[in-house]
Amino acid sequence: WYRATVLRLDQGGSDRQYLLSFRDLTEAHRLERMRSDFIANASHELRTPLASLSGFIETLRGPARNDAVARDNFLEIMQKQAERMARLIDDLLSLSRIEMKAHIAVKDQVDLTTVLNHVVDTLRPLATHLDIEIERHIDPGPVMVLGDRDELTQVFQNLLENACKYGQSGKKVVVELKNNGEGIKATVQDFGPGIPEEHIPRLTERFYRVNIETSRAQKGTGLGLAIVKHILTRHRARLVVRSRVGEGSSFTVAFGPQKAKA
C-alpha cells in the first residue's frame, strides 16, 4: 500500500512541474490490522467465559433451581470461569503496562542468579504437584545484566511455568545459567512432548496456542510468551526456542553484551 501525493511546483507558466511523493503504508496497515485482530481476539477470549457464566446463571435460576447436586457442580465451574477471566485481565494488563514502557531504557543492575533461584523456589510447589523435579545448573556468584528485576522475574516465571505445565510428569525440568565467552544465556529445558516445528515461529504471538484444549486445561491464556517477547525486546535480549517432538523443548534467553562496570 502506498499513498501518493501530487504537488504542483510551477507558477502557472507553460512549463509544468510536479512533485510526486509516495508514502509506504504497508507497515501502518499491518500494525492497524494487528491492533484490530488483537481487540477482536481479546474480546472473544473474555466473552467466552462470560457467556458460559450467563448460561449457568440462567440454568440455576430455572431448571436447576432445586437441584443441590447440579448447583454445587455449576458453581464450581462458574468459579473456574471467573478465575479464567481474572487471569486474562491480569495478563492483558501486564502486556499493556510492558508495552507502555517499551521505549524507556532499562537501567538497573540485576543479578540473574538471584532472579532464577527465586523463580525456581516460587514454582517448586507447582512442579512437585505435577511430579516434576526442577534441576538447577546455576553457579554461585552474581551474573549481572542491565534490566528490570520484576520484568525479568516474570520472563523466567512464564518460561518455567510453561516447562512444568507442558512438560512430562515424572521427568525433570532443567534451569541453567551460563556466562562464558558466548555471553550470558539462561535456559529452561523440559522433556515433555515438544512443539511441532511449524508452530515455533508463532509461539510469541498474542493468544497463539499450539493446542487450545491442553492450554485451557493448563489454565493458559496464550499471552505468556507474548509478554516474554515484549520484555526481552526492551532488554535487547533474544529468545531462542529449540524443540523436538517426543523429546522436549528448550527456551533460551540470550542477553546482548553487557557494559563493563565502571
Residues binding ligand ADP (CB under 6 A):
158, 162-163, 166, 190, 192, 195, 203, 208-211, 215, 220-226, 249
**63 or 201: whose CB is closer to ligand ADP?**
201
Which residue, judged by CB position, is nearest to ligand ADP in the bound state? 220
Least separation, in Å, of the C-beta of 210 and ligand ADP? 3
Q: Strands 133-137, 172-180: parallel, antiparallel or unpaired by DSSP? A: parallel
**81 or 211: whose CB is closer to ligand ADP?**
211
The answer to whether 137 touches 221, Cβ cutoff 8 Å, is no
Least separation, in Å, of the C-beta of 87 and ligand ADP? 9
Q: What sections of the chain are H helices per DSSP?
A: 26-61, 68-100, 112-129, 149-166, 212-217, 224-234
**90 or 121: whose CB is closer to ligand ADP?**
90
Instruction: Using CB atoms within 10 Å of the CB of residue 142, give its burial: 0 to 12 exposed, 13 to 18 middle, 19+ buried.
Output: exposed
Least separation, in Å, of the C-beta of 244 and ligand ADP? 11
Which residue from 155, 168, 164, 160 is spatially nearest to 225, judged by alpha carbons?
155
Instruction: Using CB atoms within 10 Å of the CB of residue 62, give its burial: 0 to 12 exposed, 13 to 18 middle, 19+ buried.
Output: exposed
106: Cβ contacts below 8 Å, ≥ 6 apart = 146, 147, 148, 151, 234, 235
**151 or 190: whose CB is closer to ligand ADP?**
190
Least separation, in Å, of the C-beta of 196 and ligand ADP? 10
Least separation, in Å, of the C-beta of 234 and ligand ADP? 17
**147 or 167: whose CB is closer to ligand ADP?**
167
